[in-house]
Structure 1
Amino acid sequence: MNYMKFDIKGQPATEAYEEMFKTLLQESDRGVFIVATALLDSFMVELLRYELKKCNSNKTVKEEFIKSLHSYHKRMTACHALGFIPKDVHDELSLIKKIRNSTAHNYSNFSLDDIEDEIMRLSLADVNSNVWDLLNKAEKKSSKNPEEVSVSRLKFIFAMSVTNMLFYLSAPMRGIDLDKYKESIENIKLKVKDRSS
């Protein structure tokens, strides 16, 4: 899989994010968190490059600055400190980092249930959970074995949340109006809530 060679500008947004979402779902229960943060990290670097192009300083100095931010945490903090992402996005990225660290540094038997509380604190977890319920009902109706679930609920919720975050981080580079994007997310929340009621 070539998810790390993803070209932010070279592929239509819906196609690109669908591909990334599917890639995340194909990962192991532990691997999904590692790959997700690697994707987010690379998108933060691209966001920094994009936004820093607007600054009136030497290109070499800008690249040196980005290289000095050699960790997910530092890139996330710089994106927020420089005003490229709001506090709620920073907090979401921080929670994703915490989830990743708790899974990556756990050498014992691991289960998604161990981190359910953290996953359910992600900003769109309730909406993504309702979407999973709707899709799961449809899948069970069409399946020969209705007891079998193709993707775990928690992995689905996490992958959807990360895909949303990837979309948000790349929106400026794609020329997407973030206010309209936030409005569309609110509309999706209402539609999903109506369908799941």
Structure 2
Amino acid sequence: MKEAQPEPENFHDRLNRLMGLLAHEDERGLVLTTAAFAEDLLGRLIRAYLVDVKSSGELLEGFNAPLGTLSSRTKGAHALGLLSRDQFSDLEHLRKIRNEFAHNWEGCSFDRQDIADRIGKLSATRIPSTDGDDDATLKNKLRSSISCVLTELDVLTRLIGDHGYRIRPRAIHLSLTPQTVPTSPA
């Protein structure tokens, strides 16, 4: 008899767990953890949208995967029309902030003017807060702005899955006889 598989964790559970983790993180932990979560979610979004073939997965996972980084996933999702201009901009700011924290061995802080300026450029959250302090600190601004983008991306990922909004194959072959465009991958 097969063992019952655990039900996959839904996005809201993962986001709530992320927010719980972030509440106790320092600035570096906040930035690195949020960026890792965004990278994972972008991978899920792109995978949901692409044609369901092995090569789609290979674009996203594995050594030297072309869409294996936060940068390439952000640009790829934007080029596919899966990110708005504001979402793209916010994720690019997050990526650049993440790079500063990840690659600066001497330490990095929201007190640095370039970091504070990038956080200041993040879109205002489109999800109203119950405590009203979304932008009270740079940490809150980053957390609320990016969690809004992540929520929007999860909704889109679910819409793609639930309503079949994925890319339709458009491949054709030249032929002397009329052919129809395939509706599913070969």
TM-score, L = length of structure 1: 0.64
Which amino acid in structure 2 is aligned with residue 119 of structure 1? Answer: I
Measured in 1, the distance between the counterparts of 2:140 and 2:134 equals 10
Higher helix share: 1
Structure 1 residue 12 displacement after superposition: 6.5
Measured in 2, the distance between the counterparts of 1:125 and 1:174 equals 21
Measured in 2, the distance between the counterparts of 1:163 and 1:30 equals 17
Tell me the equivalent position of 1:118.
Answer: 118
Residue 155 of structure 2 corresponds to residue 165 of structure 1: no
Measured in 1, the distance between the counterparts of 2:88 and 2:134 equals 28
Structure 1 residue 133 displacement after superposition: 7.4
Measured in 2, the distance between the counterparts of 1:113 and 1:125 equals 22
Residues 64 and 26 of structure 1: CA distance in aligned 2, closer, same or farther (over 3 Å) = same
Give the 3-state SS of the residue equivalent to 2:133 in structure 1.
Answer: helix
Measured in 2, the distance between the counterparts of 1:133 and 1:92 equals 15
How many residues are paired up?
146
Measured in 1, the distance between the counterparts of 2:26 and 2:144 equals 16
CA contact (8 A) 2:11 2:154 kept: no
CA contact (8 A) 1:125 1:158 kept: no
Structure 1 residue 88 displacement after superposition: 1.9
Identity of aligned residues (%): 27
Measured in 1, the distance between the counterparts of 2:9 and 2:117 equals 36
Within-5 A mapping of 1:10-159:
10-11=9-10, 13=12, 15-52=13-50, 55=51, 59-66=53-60, 67-114=65-112, 115-124=115-124, 131-132=132-133, 153-159=137-143
CA contact (8 A) 1:119 1:125 kept: no
Give the 3-state SS of the residue equivalent to 1:132 in structure 2.
Answer: coil
Measured in 2, the distance between the counterparts of 1:133 and 1:89 equals 17
Structure with higher Rg: it is: 2
Unaligned regions of 5+ residues in structure 1, if any?
Answer: 1-6, 137-152, 177-197
Residues 65 and 16 of structure 1: CA distance in aligned 2, closer, same or farther (over 3 Å) = closer
Unaligned regions of 5+ residues in structure 2, if any?
Answer: 1-6, 161-186
Which amino acid in structure 1 is aligned with residue 152 of structure 2? Answer: Y
Deviations 1:118-156 (A, max 9, x none): 11111017987x92279x8xxxxxxxxxxxxxxxx2212
Structure 1 residue 109 displacement after superposition: 4.4
Residues 68 and 156 of structure 1: CA distance in aligned 2, closer, same or farther (over 3 Å) = same
CA contact (8 A) 1:21 1:160 kept: no
